[in-house]
Amino acid sequence: MTLSRRTFVKVAGVSAATLAMGGLVACSGGEDKKEAPADAPRPDAGPQEEAFMSQGKGEHLTCAVTGKLIKIAPAIIAQQKGFFAEEECDVEFQTIALADAMAAMSVNRLDIDLFGVVPACSYVSQGAEIYVFGGTILNGSEMLSTEAFDRELKTADDFRGLRINCSREETGQMALKNYLQENGLTLGEDVFFEYVDNNTTAMEGLRSDQCDLFITNNAMGYSLGVDGIKVAGIVRDVTGDYPCCRQNCSAEAYTSKYLSLVDFEVAILRGYDFYLNNKDEVIQMLCDYSSQEPDYVEAAMYGTDTYRNVMNLSPDPHTKDVKAFYKALQNINEIEPDSPYDMEPYAVSGIYRKALDILLDREPDNETYKQLDADFSKYND
């Protein structure tokens, strides 16, 4: 593949960034700032959008996944129930590390990934063209503590003086930092965050009183909630909705394979509907896929009478939340605050909207699709 000079410069800058295990990308403060190119694509703003948005049917798609994570349940279901084949979507799933996936997408060597929103925002902030076109997970972080912790966590002031351990890749800790900062707390003075490498270190920190809270991923409170450990709060209950894993695609896929991405999204939406309405079958399917135990899968994906699942698997792109989260990352200096690049052109809802309309035409009485349709304008521009 031959790269244009503009693409080469962007890729060189992005490739030089350091990706943490969850895909955090830190921009170098020492580089000269580039002005956003005048010809930067705005597919939602120009008359030529109609051309590529009615083309690209039947193209081969490559989609990256990581390990055997069950949080991509609608995609797993769509594959195993044959929904992709029924929609004539030619998709190939490849197991690829997060850092490699984003790097490959930025140079159009991979079409789709189902990973985090932070890498997408980070790459865009450095001039790469990564489109967020659908949802994988919304929210999903919980705060663990010892049973002795008795503070209610509802407002920013409730966090004053707390010592909080977290994984660097956990999206919820970034949403919480921004919320606390926006509501008058100074990070490092009024509230203290420290990154830990693994759950064992964090749990030991709780038990030895080296920290007050551990922000971790959904269902860790279920699997780790023993020996005096409890879920003290949910990040979403404090901050409101925030995006986590998204459906991301390359610029080439977006502009050259648009209708194939629509077919992909139709299958994902069907998988989501199946997930909502076939709990027992889905639990067994995900157990077979991941080798996890049924009680864990139920807790993680649906919740139980005693455990609250906080992941929302809606495929809705939540473009308003994605753009707000990009600003949040700038506010807390996770990405360059003065980047000339904006998330506005790259958080897009057209693929999802077209896929949802196809399913509403087919099944006008389907309650899942009707609810998604009713919610669309609330979450998307």
Of 223, 239, 255, the residue that ends a domain is: 239
Q: 104-125 b/e with 16+ CB inside 10 Å = b?
A: bbbbbebbbbbbbbbbbbbbbb
In a shared domain, residues 89 and 216 = no
The answer to whether position 319 is within a domain reads: yes
Whichever domain contains 131, its CATH number is 3.40.190.10
In a shared domain, residues 134 and 145 = no
CA distance 375 to 381: 12
Split into its structural domains, the chain has a count of 2
Of 239, 254, 289, the residue that ends a domain is: 239
Lowest-confidence range among 27-41, 160-174, 245-259? 27-41
Strand order in the sheet with 163-166: 192-195, 163-166, 213-217, 141-146, 229-234
The pLDDT score that the predictor gives to residue 188 is 97
pLDDT over 90 (residue 32):
no
The pLDDT score that the predictor gives to residue 49 is 62
The pLDDT score that the predictor gives to residue 34 is 40
The answer to whether position 33 is within a domain reads: no
Token pair for 326: 């990009």
The pLDDT score that the predictor gives to residue 169 is 85
List the Cα angle 199/101/317 in 5-degree steps. Answer: 85
The pLDDT score that the predictor gives to residue 9 is 36
pLDDT over 70 (residue 20):
no
Average pLDDT over residues 9-20: 40
More confident position, 33 or 316:
316
Average pLDDT over residues 8-12: 39
In a shared domain, residues 354 and 227 = no
The answer to whether position 35 is within a domain reads: no
The pLDDT score that the predictor gives to residue 124 is 97
pLDDT over 60 (residue 184):
yes
Strand order in the sheet with 246-250: 91-95, 61-65, 112-113, 246-250, 130-135
Contacts of 317 (CB under 8 A, 6+ apart): 132, 133, 134, 135, 246, 247, 347, 348, 349, 352, 379, 380
The pLDDT score that the predictor gives to residue 303 is 94
The pLDDT score that the predictor gives to residue 5 is 31
Position of tokens 């052109």?
A: 345
Q: In percent, how much of the chain has pLDDT > 90? A: 78
Token pair for 258: 């648009």
CA distance 124 to 105: 12
CA proximity to 119, closest of 109, 134, 131, 133: 131
pLDDT over 90 (residue 21):
no
In a shared domain, residues 133 and 272 = yes
In a shared domain, residues 268 and 319 = yes
In a shared domain, residues 341 and 251 = yes
In a shared domain, residues 125 and 11 = yes
In a shared domain, residues 74 and 109 = yes
Sort strands 141-146 and 213-217 into parallel, antiparallel or unpaired.
Answer: antiparallel
CA dihedral 81, 218, 184, 160 (to 10 degrees): 170
List the Cα angle 303/98/338 in 5-degree steps. Answer: 100
* Radius of gyration in angstroms for the set of CA atoms belonging to the chain, rounded to a whole number: 21
In a shared domain, residues 227 and 97 = no
Residue type, 56: G
In a shared domain, residues 124 and 254 = yes
Binned at pLDDT 50, 70 and 90, residue 27 comes out as very low
The pLDDT score that the predictor gives to residue 24 is 41
pLDDT over 90 (residue 264):
yes
CA distance 65 to 314: 18
More confident position, 270 or 222:
270
The pLDDT score that the predictor gives to residue 66 is 86
pLDDT over 90 (residue 1):
no
CA distance 13 to 103: 11
Whole-angstrom distance between the N-terminal and C-terminal Cα of the chain?
A: 34
The answer to whether position 29 is within a domain reads: no
List the Cα angle 128/112/348 in 5-degree steps. Answer: 65
Average pLDDT over residues 13-36: 38
CA distance 270 to 77: 9
Sort strands 246-250 and 130-135 into parallel, antiparallel or unpaired.
Answer: antiparallel
Cα distances from 149 to residues 43, 163, 309, in angstroms, run 50, 12, 21
The answer to whether position 36 is within a domain reads: no
The answer to whether position 37 is within a domain reads: no
Q: What is the mean pLDDT of the chain?
A: 88
The answer to whether position 87 is within a domain reads: yes
CA proximity to 34, closest of 265, 320, 339, 249: 339
Domain that holds residue 183: 141-239
In a shared domain, residues 190 and 295 = no
The pLDDT score that the predictor gives to residue 200 is 87
pLDDT over 60 (residue 325):
yes
In a shared domain, residues 370 and 305 = yes
pLDDT over 60 (residue 272):
yes
CB-based contact 238:333 (threshold 8 Å): no
Of 205, 239, 273, the residue that ends a domain is: 239
The answer to whether position 290 is within a domain reads: yes
pLDDT over 70 (residue 13):
no
Q: What is the DSSP string of 247-314?
A: EEEEHHHHHHSHHHHHHHHHHHHHHHHHHHH-HHHHHHHHHHHH---HHHHHHHHT--SS-----B--
